[in-house]
Amino acid sequence: MSEIAKFVGQRIRSCRIRLDLSQEKLAEMSGVHPTYIGQLERGEKNATLESTEKIAKALNVPLSQLFEKLGDSDNNRRNIPLECYELLASKSEDEQQLLFGIITEIEKYRNT
Give the model's pLDDT for residue 87. 80
Query: How does 19-45 read in b/e, with b if 16+ C-beta sit within 10 Å?
Result: eebebeebbebbebeeebbbbbbebeb
How far is C-alpha 96 from the geometric centre of its chain's CA atoms? 13
Show pLDDT as tens, one digit a residue, over the chain (112 residues).
678 888 899 899 989 988 999 999 999 999 999 999 999 999 899 989 999 999 999 999 999 888 887 765 555 677 787 778 778 877 888 888 999 999 999 999 888 7
Question: Under CATH, which number does the domain 3-110 receive?
Answer: 1.10.260.40
CB 43, CB 6: distance < 8 Å:
yes
